[in-house]
């Protein structure tokens, strides 16, 4: 048992008593010079009190009497500090926490190396479909913040989203109606949110957790509401297949695994890296074909013109997402268009939005 010297005030009298302090397994014992036990304080009830640097002054939590104990021997004080749960005068706990953080970083780095060896794609591919919806949404929110910052290069802030100004509100209503029709038909297990943003490229993108960005350039380039809907349906395919999560997990590597364990994706370079990769990289040919097939089936189901996805692909050279290469007149794009037309149902009589709504959607970013 570790023992040392201290000065004890019982809180009732102003008498200063030289005491012996013995550190037991669960608490410390304060005894007078004559060996009489004066107090027993469990470690989890000891708190640090304000004192000069040279003194460790302790009190007992919830004690009615203002009893206190002072330790001047720095070594002995450090031992008590380490044992008492609510005392961290020497910063030991903080140091331990720092060591834990370093431990996590080392583990994360080690896993990144492992992943580099065995290949992230294989791991991300298997992992993404297993993500619980809540975690995927959190991951999506963290990536979304970064993606928005990267896309909003004119620093418009809230104004980056189209449809908020009065003149744009009918457009927003038309867009929401279109999203709603597609979402109802898609019946995905997670809620999808769609927004139109002030970017001139004719693109759209889906983030993990179901956030869909439609760039104003896409709406400007589209001839019909069904063409816009077709691309959104394709993006919903990426949501359904968890392609965004796979891409992000690949880019962020296993740091995201740790993020999941710690329940915190924000902070740390992984999310920035992931957001950049979402904007710069493109999906595999297989993933695109699968999203096309999904989008076509969804347009059929929603009562839209599935061929509109094909005609839009033709216009934008197959580059639905920002990271993709425009391949006008490319065999790959032609094959995609042919596949969509094969799967498309007969052209419906009604467009997805009426003429007035489509005109409003065209002006959603006109503000
Ligand atoms: Zn795509």
Q: How far is the CA of 189 from the centre of ligand 1 (A)?
A: 20
pLDDT digits (tens, 9 = 90+) for 192-203: 999 999 999 999
pLDDT digits (tens, 9 = 90+) for 260-286: 555 555 555 677 777 887 888 788 899
Q: How far is the CA of 201 from the centre of ligand 1 (A)?
A: 15
Q: How far is the CA of 133 from the centre of ligand 1 (A)?
A: 21
For the entire predicted model, the pTM comes to 0.67
Q: Residue 209 — pLDDT band, cuts 50, 70, 90?
A: confident
User: Which of 214, 245, 250 lies closest to 362, judged by CA?
Assistant: 214
Q: How far is the CA of 259 from the centre of ligand 1 (A)?
A: 27
Q: How far is the CA of 235 from the centre of ligand 1 (A)?
A: 6
Q: How far is the CA of 311 from the centre of ligand 1 (A)?
A: 15
Q: How far is the CA of 50 from the centre of ligand 1 (A)?
A: 61
Task: Note the CATH number of domain 2-90.
Answer: 2.30.29.30
Residue 193's pLDDT is 93
Q: Residue 366 — pLDDT band, cuts 50, 70, 90?
A: very high
Q: How far is the CA of 33 from the centre of ligand 1 (A)?
A: 81
Q: How far is the CA of 92 from the centre of ligand 1 (A)?
A: 51
Residues 1-16 have a mean pLDDT of 88
Confidence check: pLDDT of 92 > 70 = no
Sign, CA torsion 197/184/306/137: positive
Q: Residue 167 — pLDDT band, cuts 50, 70, 90?
A: very high
Q: How far is the CA of 281 from the centre of ligand 1 (A)?
A: 11
Q: Phi, psi at residue 137, to the nearest 5°?
A: -65, -40
Q: How far is the CA of 303 from the centre of ligand 1 (A)?
A: 21
Q: How far is the CA of 35 from the centre of ligand 1 (A)?
A: 80
- Delimit the domains of the chain by residue range: 2-90, 118-362
Q: How far is the CA of 197 from the centre of ligand 1 (A)?
A: 18
Q: How far is the CA of 222 from the centre of ligand 1 (A)?
A: 17
How distant, in Å, are the alpha carbons of 96, 137, 196, 326 from that of 158? 41, 21, 12, 30
Q: How far is the CA of 288 from the centre of ligand 1 (A)?
A: 5
Q: Residue 143 — pLDDT band, cuts 50, 70, 90?
A: confident
Confidence check: pLDDT of 256 > 70 = no
Q: Residue 246 — pLDDT band, cuts 50, 70, 90?
A: confident
Residues 120-130 have a mean pLDDT of 70
Torsion of CA 198, 168, 158, 213, to 10 degrees: -50
CB 13 within 8 A of CB 31: no
């Amino acid at each position: 048992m570790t023992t040392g010297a201290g000065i004890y005030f019982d809180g009732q009298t102003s008498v200063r008593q030289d005491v012996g302090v013995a550190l037991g397994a669960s608490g410390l014992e304060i005894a007078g010079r004559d060996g009489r036990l004066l107090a027993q304080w469990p470690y989890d009830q000891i708190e640090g009190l304000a004192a000069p640097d040279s003194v460790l002054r302790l009190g007992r939590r919830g004690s009615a009497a203002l009893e206190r104990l002072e330790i001047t021997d720095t070594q002995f004080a450090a031992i008590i500090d380490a044992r008492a749960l609510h005392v961290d005068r020497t910063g030991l706990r903080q140091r331990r926490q720092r060591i834990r953080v370093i431990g996590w970083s080392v583990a994360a780095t080690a896993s990144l190396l492992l992943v580099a060896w065995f290949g992230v794609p294989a791991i991300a591919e298997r992992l993404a479909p297993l993500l619980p919806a809540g975690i995927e949404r959190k991951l999506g929110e963290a990536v979304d913040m970064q993606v928005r910052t990267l896309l909003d290069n004119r620093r418009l802030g809230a104004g980056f989203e189209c449809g908020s100004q009065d003149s744009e509100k009918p457009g927003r209503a038309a867009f929401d109606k279109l999203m709603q029709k597609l979402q109802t038909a898609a019946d995905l297990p997670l809620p999808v949110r769609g927004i139109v943003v002030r970017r001139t490229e004719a693109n759209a993108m889906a983030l993990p957790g179901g956030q869909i960005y439609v760039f104003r350039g896409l709406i400007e380039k589209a001839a019909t509401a069904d063409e816009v809907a077709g691309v959104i349906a394709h993006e919903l395919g990426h949501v359904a297949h968890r392609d965004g999560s796979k891409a992000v997990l690949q880019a962020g590597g296993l740091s995201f695994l740790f993020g999941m364990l710690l329940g915190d994706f924000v902070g740390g370079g992984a999310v920035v890296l992931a957001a950049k990769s979402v904007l710069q990289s493109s999906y595999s040919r297989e993933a695109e074909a699968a999203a096309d097939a999904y989008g076509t089936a969804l347009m059929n189901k929603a009562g839209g013109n599935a061929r509109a996805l094909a005609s839009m692909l033709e216009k934008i050279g197959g580059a639905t997402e920002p990271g993709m290469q425009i391949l006008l007149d490319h065999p790959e794009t032609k094959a995609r268009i042919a596949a969509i037309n094969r799967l498309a149902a007969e052209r419906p009589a009604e467009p997805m939005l009426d003429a007035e709504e489509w005109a409003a959607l065209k002006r959603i970013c006109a503000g």
